């Protein structure tokens, strides 16, 4: 969605650019179904969260790091009131063994029809 790398290493730190739920190589957003005019027919926030986590994991592994090496997470939610509890439940599931620092903010919008984006910093051995 722009001219920037998905990951960038600086010393033993790996910075992962803001990552959304879009399925790699497609325009598909898991959990989002629209009609031919782009109007929402159904929305599944949990599917978007799981997809974001999957995308982050792949980016980390392709860059030589891992999920367990995440030290900081910044979460951007479009609707904190609606989605925060669901996000916290899923976050606890995915980060039960590794507990990085975390900041969660609500934003007015994200690029395209996504409801969540993550930015992470991890270490690289």
Q: Which CATH fold topology does 7-123 show? A: 60s Ribosomal Protein L30; Chain: A; (3.30.1330)
User: Cβ distance 117 to 74 under 8 Å?
Assistant: no
pLDDT at 21 over 80: yes
- The pLDDT value given to residue 77: 97
* Cα–Cα dist 74/70, whole Å: 11
Instruction: Give per-residue pLDDT as tens, 35-94.
Output: 888 777 788 999 999 999 999 999 999 999 999 999 999 999 999 999 999 999 999 999
Q: Report the 10 Å Cβ neighbour count for 78.
A: 17
Three-state SS for the chain is: CCCCCCEEEECCEEEEEEECCCCCCCCCCCCEEECCCCCEEEECHHHHHHHHHHHHHHHHHHCCCCHHHEEEEEEEECCHHHHHHHHHHHHHHHCCCCCCEEEEEECCCCCCCCCEEEEEEEECC
Q: Which of 95, 11, 81, 9 is nearest to 52 (CA)?
A: 95
- Delimit the domains of the chain by residue range: 7-123
pLDDT at 32 over 70: yes
pLDDT at 2 over 70: no
């Amino acid at each position: 969605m722009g001219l920037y790398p998905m990951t960038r290493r600086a010393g033993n730190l790996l910075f992962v650019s803001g990552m959304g739920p879009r399925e790699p190589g497609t325009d598909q957003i898991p959990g989002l179904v629209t009609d031919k005019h782009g109007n929402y027919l159904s929305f599944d926030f949990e599917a978007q969260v799981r997809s974001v986590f999957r995308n982050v994991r792949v980016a980390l592994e392709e860059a030589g790091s891992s999920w367990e090496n995440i030290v900081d997470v910044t979460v951007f939610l479009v609707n904190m009131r609606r989605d925060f509890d669901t996000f916290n439940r899923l976050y606890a599931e995915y980060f039960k063994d590794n507990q990085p620092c975390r900041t969660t903010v609500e934003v007015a919008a994200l690029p395209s029809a996504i409801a969540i984006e993550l930015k992470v910093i991890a270490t690289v051995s």
